[in-house]
Amino acid sequence: MKLNKQNEILTFIQHKIENEGYSPSIREIAEKVNLKSTSSVQYHLDNLIKKGLLSKKPNQSRTLTSNKLISTFKSVPIVGEIAAGAPLLAEENKIGEISVPQDKFSENLFALKINGDSMIDAGIFHEDIVVIDKGVEPKNGDIGAFMINETEATVKYLDTIGNKRYLVPANKIYENQEITSNVQPIGKVVSLFRDI
Amino acid sequence: MKLNKQNEILTFIQHKIENEGYSPSIREIAEKVNLKSTSSVQYHLDNLIKKGLLSKKPNQSRTLTSNKLISTFKSVPIVGEIAAGAPLLAEENKIGEISVPQDKFSENLFALKINGDSMIDAGIFHEDIVVIDKGVEPKNGDIGAFMINETEATVKYLDTIGNKRYLVPANKIYENQEITSNVQPIGKVVSLFRDI
DNA sequence: CATATATTAGAACAAATGTTCGAAATAAAT
DNA sequence: ATTTATTTCGAACATTTGTTCTAATATATG
C-alpha cells in the first residue's frame, strides 16, 4: 500500500488549516497533490477517515478536521513562588502562561517553574517548566507536585518505604522527607519544557 | 448602531471554529441567530470584516476566520531515524510534528527525537524531543545537533580541547568524538519537550 | 503470465454555498 | 412627523463543492 499520497494529503490538510484557518476543498487538494480527479482524492480521504486520522461532515464543504491536529492550544498558568497564605492558583502566584495541545488539555492542568536541583537525576532542572495534572493523584513511583505547609510547592518522587510514604528527591545530596499531615499532594507531573 | 446581532454572529463563529474545527456557512449563521435571509448575515459579516474582526476568502465556503483566534503556534517536523542518503528533512525521515509558539518560530526550526542516553547528565533523556535551530551554528559549550557520515544525527555538547574540536556526550560511559570531515553541524538545540 | 488489488481518471449530478439586487421593515435622528 | 440611516427580507443566480459511478491504468501477488 502506497502511503505517499495519503500522507501528502494529510499534511497538506493540516498545514492548510494551520496556516489559513480553514480546511481545503477536495479540488484544492487534488490540485496540490497532482491528482486530476476529485474522486481520487475522495479515495484517499476515505482511507484516512477509516484510519481515524481525519473527520468530516457529509455534504458539507471544507469540514475536514485532523483528529491529531495540534492547532488548537489552550493556555495553563505557570506558578512560581507561592505567596504565603494565598491559594496555589491565585493571581499573585502566576508568573506566566504555557500552552498545551488541546487534546492533552484539561481544566486540571497548571504549570510550575522548578526552583532548585533536587530532581536533577530525573532530568528535571532548575527553571524547567513542569505541567501538573491536579486531577491525577500521584502514585508510588510517580513524580508529583506537593504542597508543604500550605506555603511551598515542591516536585518529588512519591515512594513507600516500609509502611511510610516519602517525598523522594532525585539527587543524592537531598534526603527523603516523610509525608505527614503538613504535606498535601497537588497532582501528577505529566510533561516538561525547557529552554536551552 | 445595534451591535447585538453582530456580536452574536461573531461569537457564534468563534465558538463553531473552536468546537467543530471549521467555520459555519452563512445559512448556518442565519439559522443560529434567527435571521431569515442570508443577505442579512452578509450585511453583518461585511461590517465585521470592515472592523477587522473577521476575514474571509471571496466565493469560498466556510473560510471565515476570526482574527483574534488565529493560532499562535506553528508546527515543526520531528525527525526520527535518518534514512540513508536521504536529506535530513526528507519526508521519509519525518515521524511527526511538534508545535512551538509563533514568536519563537522560525523556518529554521525542526525537532529531533532523542535516541539513547548519551546526554543524560544534561537532562536530555531517551525519547525526549529537542528543537533545533538550523540557523544557529553551535559554539563551544553549546548543545548542538550534528550529522555523522551523512547518515546519523546526534545531539552532543561541542567543545574544544587543545586545538581539536570534540563532540562531548553528557554521560561518563561514552567517549568524546573528535570532529573531522565526516561530522557536519546541523544546528543548535534550543528547547526540549518531554512527556512523563 | 494471469489475477487480484490498489490507484487514478472522467464525467455527470445534486446539494451546499456565497453573492447580488431591490424592496420592505425597523429604528434613529432632525 | 418627516427624513434618514440601519437592519431585515426574499428571491434569483452563479459557483463552489461533495458525491457517485464506471472505466482505465498502475502495482502488487501468486
Query: What secondary structure, in 3-state letters, does B110-132 show?
Result: EEEECCCCCCHHHCCCCCCEEEE
Best interface-test mutation with A: which of B118, B158, B192 has the largest number of A CBs within 10 A? B192
- Read off the pLDDT band of A1 (50, 70, 90): very low
Q: Which residues of A touch B72 (CB under 8 A)?
A: 73, 99
pLDDT at A104: 54
Name the more confident of A104 and B11. B11
Choice between B112 and B18, residue whose per-residue pLDDT is larger: B112
Q: Could you give the domains of chain A?
A: 4-66 (1.10.10.10), 73-193 (2.10.109.10)
Tell me the percentage of chain A whose pLDDT exceeds 70.
77
Which chain B residues are Cβ-neighbours of A62 within 8 angstroms? 22-23, 60-63
Say what the pLDDT of residue B123 is: 92
Average pLDDT for chain A: 80
Which of A23, A156, A164, A181 does the annotation list as catalytic? A156
Is-contact B123 B98, C-beta < 8 A?
no
Q: Which residues of B touch A21 (CB under 8 A)?
A: 17, 23, 63, 65, 69-71
pLDDT at residue A6 in the model? 82
| Amino acid present at B195 | D
Q: Is the pLDDT of residue B70 over 50?
A: no
By C1' distance from the Cα of A58, the closest nucleotide is D18
Q: pLDDT band at A88, cuts 50/70/90?
A: low
Listed in sequence order, the residues at least 6 apart from B114 whose beta carbon sits closer than 8 Å to its beta carbon are: B124, B125, B126, B127, B128, B129, B130, B155
Give residue B41's pLDDT: 93
Work out the number of other CB atoms within 10 angstroms of the CB of residue B43: 14
Which pLDDT score, from 0 to 100, does residue A123 have?
92
* Residues of B with active-site annotation: 118, 156
Q: Region A44-66: what's the mean pLDDT?
A: 85
Pairing of strands B73-79, B109-113: parallel
A164 is catalytic: no
The three cell numbers locating residue A169: 528527591
Please answer whether residues A185 and A140 qualify as being in contact, where contact means their C-beta atoms are separated by less than 8 angstroms: no
The spacing between the Cα labelled CA in A81 and the C1' in D21, in angstroms, equals 67
Is the per-residue pLDDT at A93 higher than 80? no
- A170-195: per-residue pLDDT in tens? 999 999 999 999 888 988 998 888 88
Is the C-beta of residue B131 closer than 7 Å to nucleic acid chain D? no
Q: Pick the residue with more confidence: B74 or A149?
A: A149
**Inter-chain CB proximity A191 and B191 less than 8 Å:** no
Helix (H) or strand (E) holding A147: strand A143-148
Q: How confident is the model at residue B99 (pLDDT cuts 50, 70, 90)?
A: low
Contacts of B128 in chain A (CB under 8 A): 123
Q: Please report the pLDDT score of residue B108 as a whole number.
A: 76
Q: In angstroms, what is the C-alpha Rg of chain A?
A: 23
Residues 6+ apart with CB under 8 A from A7: B91
Give one DSSP letter per residue of chain B, joined into a string.
Answer: ---HHHHHHHHHHHHHHHHHSSPPPHHHHHHHTT-S-HHHHHHHHHHHHHTTSEE--TT-TT--EETTS---EEEEEEE-SPPTTS-TT-GGGEEEEEEEEGGG--TTEEEEE--SSTTGGGT--TT-EEEEETTS---TT-EEEEEETTTEEEEEEEEEETTEEEEE-SSTTS--EE--TTEEEEEEEEEEEEE-
**Rounded mean pLDDT of chain B?**
80
The answer to whether residue A71 is catalytic is: no
Residue A41 has pLDDT above 80, yes or no: yes
User: Residues B131-188: pLDDT tens digits?
Assistant: 888 888 999 999 999 988 877 788 999 998 888 999 999 999 999 999 999 898 988 9
Average pLDDT over residues A144-171: 88
Question: How far B125 CA lies from chain A's nearest CA (Å)?
Answer: 7
The pairing of beta strand A65-66 with beta strand A54-55: antiparallel
Residue A87 confidence (pLDDT): 54
**pLDDT beyond 80 at A77:** no
Residue B121: pLDDT band with limits 50, 70, 90 = very high
Beta-carbon separation of A20 and B65 below 8 A: yes
pLDDT of residue A142: 93
**Minimum-distance CB partner of B192 among A60, A72, A196:** A196
- Say what the pLDDT of residue B30 is: 92
The β-bridge partners of B110 are B132
Helices (H) and strands (E) in chain A, counts: 3, 11
What mean pLDDT is predicted for residues A71-79?
A: 54
Alpha carbon B194 to its chain's center: 15
Q: Which helix (H) or strand (E) holds A169?
A: none
Chain B positions contacting chain A at CB under 8 Å are 17-18, 20-23, 25, 60-65, 69-75, 91, 97-99, 101, 120, 123-125, 128, 130, 143, 189-196
| pLDDT the model gives residue A12 | 87
Residue A70: pLDDT above 50? no
Q: What is the DSSP string of A90-120?
A: -GGGEEEEEEEEGGG--TTEEEEE--SSTTG
pLDDT value of residue B71 = 46
Residue of B nearest to A10 (CA): B96
| Inter-CA distances, B166 with A196, B84, B112, B160, B172, Å | 20, 24, 21, 6, 15
Q: In angstroms, how far is D5 C1' from B1 CA?
A: 10
pLDDT, residue A69, reads: 46
